[in-house]
Chains A and B, each alone.
Chain A
Amino acid sequence: MTRFLAAALALLALVGAAAAGRPVQADLEAEIVCPTCKTTLDQSSSPIATRMKAYIRVRIAAGDSATEIKAQLVEQFGPAVLAEPPKRGFDLLAWLLPLGALAIGAVVVAGLAWTWSRRRDGESAATESALDPDLERRVDEELARFDV
């Protein structure tokens, strides 16, 4: 019962913090990269990752926003500490290039689909027109036998 209450309180605190716009430790740990192991903090237990988690905890308790905490970490460790590149300047390319590649891929697929469908139409038409008149007459006769 005590455990259940503790879990419920922890959940309420988490929801409350998120609702109030306060940064959540787990979210920040998933958005910051450990400089030595190059994985996000939540995936690392290296000494510097442990130290950075403690730093984040202290800054949250001091009332800093997520943006402020990230800016402080970037100041110390450089922009590579962010798991997601910022959406400005040269880093914007990291966001735009995959979208561009996706758009180009869609255009290529659409173009290929259109070409193939046209070729199939052409082949069907060619098949129809290529039917021997004698054969066509015989097919008609055979089909007529099944007519009631």
Chain B
Amino acid sequence: MTGRAKTVGQGIAIAAVVGLLALLVWKLAFGDGQGAAGSLARGENPVAPAFTLSRLDAADGKVSLSDLKGKPVVVNFWASWCIPCKDEAPALQKTYEQYRKQGLVVLGVDAQDFRQDAKRFAKRFGITYPIVYDGSGSTLGKWGVTGFPETFFVDRNGRLVGERIQGGIDTERNRKAYAEGVRLALGEAP
């Protein structure tokens, strides 16, 4: 190999290594693998990640989170195969019925699930609040959802408030944080 070719080869190899290192540094410094949930855990109130998804009951109808701006929203990620989701479904429906007049919307996001199974689930538990379908789970990364169910609270300004609830809302561990999240979303004084 000639000296020049060797130098060019070494230059390319060094550039590749430097490029990969730069990517790693960038990811560590600016990447947020935990999505909005990570910001929330750090005490921030990030803007709720936007999405537009089809309604569970009508594949042609779409719902965007931005359509609900100005309203407090409880965003609940769930799937029909998830057992705690069954346990919390009546409590979510009760929240919707109780605070609907105050403008609160409960929005279910059914993810990584068969649409038909989710429809049967909604019917079985008498769910009347809107549900959108995200079969591929495209929203989970942006929100930082790591399992089902998970619940977030969005205030009237479209910002996340309160805590991210991991697991059923109607459990001893989560009941207080859930009530607090609803209160914050509604903008009520403590």
Would A77 and B117 be within 8 Å (CB), given that A35-B137, A48-B79 are in contact? no
- Give the total number of A-B pairs whose CB atoms are below 8 A apart: 31
Name A80's closest neighbour in chain B (CB-CB). B136
Q: What are the interface flags for B13-56 relative to A under an 8 Å C-beta threshold, 1 for contact and 0 otherwise?
A: 00000000000000000000000000000000000000000000
Q: Is the interface of B mostly helix, strand, loop or mixed?
A: loop
Interface size on B, residues (CB 8 A): 13
Shortest CB distance B5–A (Å): 9
Task: Give chain B interface residues in 71-121, CB to chain A under 8 Å.
Answer: 79, 81-82, 112-115, 117
- B79 contact set on A, CB distance < 8 A: 48
- Pairwise interchain contact A48-B113, C-beta atoms closer than 8 A: yes
Report the Cα distance A47→B112, complex, angstroms: 11
Report the Cα distance A55→B165, complex, angstroms: 31
The reply to whether the CB of A10 lies closer than 8 angstroms to some CB of chain B is no
Name A75's closest neighbour in chain B (CB-CB). B135
Among candidates B82, B135, B136, residue contacting A47 with C-beta atoms closer than 8 Å = B82
The reply to whether the CB of A36 lies closer than 8 angstroms to some CB of chain B is yes
Residues of chain A at the chain B interface (Cβ within 8 Å): 35-36, 47-48, 51, 55, 75-78, 80-81, 111-112, 115
